[in-house]
Chains A and B, each alone.
Chain A
Amino acid sequence: MSKKLVLVMLAILIAATLVGCGTAKPAEKQTVKIGFIGPLSGGGAAVGIGAKNSFQLKVDEVLADGTYPYNIVVVYEDDASDPATGVAAATKIASDPDVVAAATHWNSPVGLATVDIFHKYGVAQVFWGTIHRDIIYGNDYKEPVRVIPTSEQSMELAAEYAVKFDRMEWVIINDTTDYGTKIRDEFTTSLEKRGGKVLEAIGVTVGQQDFSAVITRVKELNPEGIFYAGVTTEAAGVRIQSVKMGLTDVIFMGPPGIQSDTFGEITQADAEGTFVSGTFDVNSSEAGKAFVAAYNAKYTEPFEQNGPYAYDSAAIILEALKAVGPDRTKIVDYILSHTFKGVIGDIQWDEYGQNGVGGLTMYVNQDQKWVKFEDSEYASGVRTFPWVK
């Protein structure tokens, strides 16, 4: 081949490359997947769907102006409040190499079952629900962080109110899940620390329908308060049946697990004056109110108690992804080493990845809705508690 020919070919090649440069489209945005797992069916579906919508709302908001450097695909999986289903969902998400982080779970037993999976795959797991202490403190993993406060913090508040209302003798009815027994123990500790007394703790099972024997026993013990350590459906059953059996002069309180509008819907008038030591009150801040407005403009299902936490989980994941790119390890490190501004306030992890603040709030049921106690007609004296002797 002559030197001349080589030169000509080279020239053509360079020219072609240059022409190519001129007409090439700007580089396509890379598509990145993030995961969301929650109870989208079963007894906890209302909470799960509220959280899912809130999560999607934040993703849509961030992507709206088109400046976000990645295309985001959210992979939604259902854990049905069941650890086995949750493990399958977590494995499916974590084993997908395109998924860089996930926001997960409402139920503590499910969370306890899946932390190991996300750890194994090195995927950041941001909890928008669950309040069992061991999910964060029971391991030395860097992957799980939790936006929502722990059950310990929540039960401290419950015990404070028990003292405030001067109700020192309680009976705890707990479901036998990890969640129920943990809440039982923590409420007992918090109450006894303040000089209160738990007369007896009675276990029931999730799915149980008849509580007559339990309530008969409670009547015999004659407590000043009943604390139901469990979730909505059984709590509603216990409440309905205890009112039916004449236990109306006793204060009734529950953990965040019963802070669903479903409680009021099922128990109706019997819900009046019951308490839940619950989570963040959206109406306490401007950011919260803005969230409510944006949410209600888009969805008809209520966002339930975990909506704001799911919304903030999306913000955390997207901020980390934007800062360090789609690298699982870097995202895990970024999340754990930064503080975030969320709708629930400043999100700041302790060394284990537990958020400290989060607006724990005491709610009272007023006309079948959970109302912040300070804002309720009970606090202002318009109404008197049904249980005041």
Chain B
Amino acid sequence: MNTFFQLLISALLVSSLYTLVAVGFTMYVGVINLANFSHGDTCVMGTFLLMPLFLFATKMGWMTPLAGLVIPALIILVILVTGLWGAGIYKILVKPLLVAPRLILLLASVAAGQVIREAIRVIYPNGSNPQVFPKLLPSGGIELSGLTLGYDSLTIIFLTIACIISLNFIIQRTKMGLAMRAVSQNSDVSQIMGINIEKTIISVFILGSALAGLAGILNGTYYGIAKFNLGSNLGIKGFSAAVIGGLGDFQGAIIGGVLLGFIEVFASAYIPNGSQYQDVFSFLAVIAFLIFRPSGILGEKIFEKV
């Protein structure tokens, strides 16, 4: 029983990290029907932006008295920078290609991801090697009859839930969210109705990339290791979660992320020799969904009119 609960916590944590990536991923698909494959690398960009900032803050001696203030400030700074990066990507890459077939844009996003990855490898000192990521969250945890509840895991799960709630609020209750939903349903009609399409899309890019930055930081701080090439794996996992939940569907991405995390953790634990095949299980799930329910759990069924 104990083991089961321990796995449950692990699964929740992995799910949280996947969900954060998947939600960003699905927003691009929802609004401009683009699978943005640079999303995972944007996460890693967040990871690698935070490390030098943290070192700098430590060197300046800000950490000892003010860690509780400086760390959130650094995280917010990185989120802002990755958000700006999202806006930049839109201006430089997406806007000129918006009228081109989506496949072109998809390829461009793959290239953008590659640029981030190689830039980190080349620019960051000793960038090819795994790096130490600072511990931003309180270490230690609560011991409950053999069960370890790490403060860092709890913080990450809590932060993810908070992010999702506020994002849901933005999408459901604000004017910008309304515009996003309208554009995602029919961008031509939205334009006729007076919605500023460009502003809407750019806000999606800012939000999505900011989320990616946060996901990268949380991923780094939990595992304690930062690798320049982690982005492809994170991106694919986020994409898979979005596919399972229903591409383009916000709630679907959450369900997909949670499901993917649970499949990975429980399959590695309960299937003999499962750990070495944990990626296999999650991708098998993706394939199963693609065959039996291609629109995902919450995605709408698309009827093609003949």
CB of A266 within 8 A of CB of B273, answer no
Q: Which of B143, B219, B264, B278 has the most CB of A within 10 A?
A: B278
Please state if B223 and A240 are interface contacts (CB–CB under 8 Å). yes
- In the complex, the answer to whether B265 meets A213 with C-beta atoms within 8 Å is yes
User: What are 17 contact pairs spanning A and B, CB under 8 A?
Assistant: A42-B128, A203-B276, A208-B278, A209-B233, A212-B7, A212-B10, A213-B7, A213-B264, A213-B278, A214-B268, A216-B7, A216-B269, A233-B227, A237-B224, A244-B152, A266-B130, A266-B132
Q: Are A210 and B10 in contact (CB under 8 A)?
A: yes
Task: Determine if A241 and B223 form an interchain contact, defined as CB atoms under 8 angstroms apart.
Answer: yes
Give the chain A neighbours of B251 by CB distance below 8 A.
Answer: none
User: Does B230 make an interface contact (CB < 8 A)?
Assistant: yes
Q: Is B275 engaged at the interface, CB distance under 8 Å to the other chain?
A: yes
Which residues of A sit under 8 angstroms from B3, Cβ to Cβ?
216-217, 219-220
Within 8 A of A (CB), among B1-23: 3, 6-7, 10, 13-14
- The reply to whether B6 and A216 contact each other, CB–CB distance below 8 Å, is yes
Chain B, residues 108-144, CB within 8 Å of chain A (1/0): the string is 0000000000000100001011111000000101010
B266 contacts A213, C-beta separation under 8 Å: yes
Shortest CB-to-CB span from A180 to chain B, Å, is 10
Q: CB of B177 within 8 A of chain A?
A: no
User: Which of A45, A210, A216, A267 meets B14, CB within 8 Å?
Assistant: A210
DSSP majority for the A interface?
helix
Chain B contacts for A204, CB-based, 8 A: 275-276
Number of interface residues of A (CB under 8 A): 36
B14 / chain A contacts, CB cutoff of 8 Å: 210, 212
Instruction: List chain A residues, Cβ under 8 A from B129.
Output: 43, 45-46, 262
Q: A210-B265, A212-B6 are in contact. List 4 more A-B contacts (CB 8 A).
A: A43-B130, A216-B7, A217-B269, A244-B148
Q: Are A268 and B132 in contact (CB under 8 A)?
A: yes
Q: C-beta contact mask, B215-226 vs A, less than 8 Å → 1, else 0?
A: 000010001110
A246 in contact (CB, < 8 A):
yes
* CB-based closest 4 A-B pairs: A212-B10, A203-B276, A213-B268, A213-B269
Question: Given A212-B7, A214-B268, are A237 and B128 also a contact pair (CB < 8 Å)?
Answer: no
B230: chain A residues within 8 A (beta carbon):
209
A210 touches B223 (CB 8 A): yes
Question: Does A103 sit at the interface, judged by CB under 8 A?
Answer: no
> Which of B143, B273, B276 is packed against the most chain A CB atoms within 10 Å?
B276
Contact of A236 among B7, B130, B141, B143 (CB under 8 A): B130
> Which of these, A202, A219, A233, A244, contacts B225 with CB under 8 Å?
A233
Q: Is A245's CB under 8 angstroms from B6's CB?
A: yes
Asked whether, in the complex, the Cβ of B130 is within 8 Å of the Cβ of A212, the reply is: no
Enumerate chain A residues within 8 angstroms of B141, measured Cβ to Cβ: 244
Q: Which residues does A use to contact B, with CB under 8 Å?
A: 41-43, 45-46, 176, 202-205, 207-214, 216-217, 219-220, 232-233, 236-237, 240-241, 244-246, 262, 265-268
Q: Select A41's contact among B128, B152, B276, beta carbons within 8 Å.
A: B128
With A43-B130, A210-B10, A233-B130 known to touch, is A266 a contact of B269 (CB < 8 Å)? no
Number of interface residues of B (CB under 8 A): 37
Chain A's closest residue to B219 (CB) is: A209
- CB contacts (< 8 Å) of B13 on chain A: these are 212
**Of A202, A207, A237, A268, which contacts B233 at CB under 8 A?**
A207
CA distance A174 to B279 in the complex (A): 16
Smallest Cβ-Cβ distance to B134: which chain A residue = A268
Name the distance in Å between A258's Cβ and chain B's nearest Cβ: 12
Contact between B148 and A246, CB atoms less than 8 A apart? yes
Interfacial chain A residues near B6, Cβ < 8 Å: 212, 216, 219, 245
**Which chain A positions have C-beta within 8 A of B121?**
41
Among A208, A213, A232, A237, contact of B10 (Cβ-Cβ < 8 Å): A213
A245 cross-chain contacts in B, Cβ below 8 A: 6, 148, 150
Q: How far does the Cβ of B107 sit from chain A's closest Cβ, in whole Å?
A: 24
**0 or 1 for each of B193-232: is its CB under 8 Å from A? (1 = yes):** 0000000000000000000000000010001110100100
Partner of A216 from B10, B126, B139 at Cβ < 8 Å: B10
**Distance of A158 from chain B, by nearest CB (Å):** 22
A203 proximity list for chain B (CB < 8 A): 273, 275-276
For A237, give its contact among B225, B265, B269 (CB under 8 Å).
B225
What's the minimum C-beta distance from B233 to chain A, rounded to whole angstroms?
Answer: 7
Q: Which residue of B lies closest to A270 (CB)?
A: B224
Best-buried of B128, B139, B266, B269 by chain A (most CB within 10 Å): B128
CB distance from B118 to the nearest CB of A (A): 11
Q: How far is the CA of A233 from the CA of B133 in the complex (A)?
A: 13
Cα(A245)–Cα(B141), bound, Å:
9
Residue numbers in A under 8 Å from B275 (CB-CB): 202-204, 208, 211, 213-214
Q: Are A176 and B276 closer than 8 Å at their CB atoms?
A: yes
**Across the interface, which residues of A come within 8 angstroms of B274, CB to CB?**
213
The reply to whether A237 and B223 contact each other, CB–CB distance below 8 Å, is: yes
Provide the B49-80 mask, 1 if CB < 8 A to any CB of A, else 0.
Answer: 00000000000000000000000000000000
Complex Cα distance, B275 from A245, in Å, reads: 17
Q: How far is the CA of A351 from the CA of B45 in the complex (A)?
A: 52
Chain B residues in 8 Å Cβ range of A209 = 219, 223, 225, 230, 233
Q: Which residues of B contact A42 (CB under 8 A)?
A: 128
Q: Chain A residue with minimal CB distance to B152?
A: A244
Closest to A264 in B: B132
Report the minimum CB–CB distance from B76 to chain A (whole Å): 25
User: Once the chains are docked, how many angstroms separate the CA of A309 from the CA of B132?
Assistant: 28
User: Taking the nearest CB of chain B, how far is it from the CB of A240, in angstroms?
Assistant: 5
* B262-306 to A contact mask, C-beta < 8 Å, 1/0: 001110110001111011000000000000000000000000000
**What's the minimum C-beta distance from A224 to chain B, rounded to whole angstroms?**
18
A202 and B278 alpha carbons, distance in the complex (Å):
12
A236 to B275: give the CA distance in the assembly, Å.
Answer: 17
Name which of A216, A241, A262, A266 has the most chain B CB atoms within 10 A of its CB.
Answer: A216
Cα distance, A233 to B252, chains bound together (Å): 34
| Chain B residues within an 8 Å CB radius of A46 | 126, 129
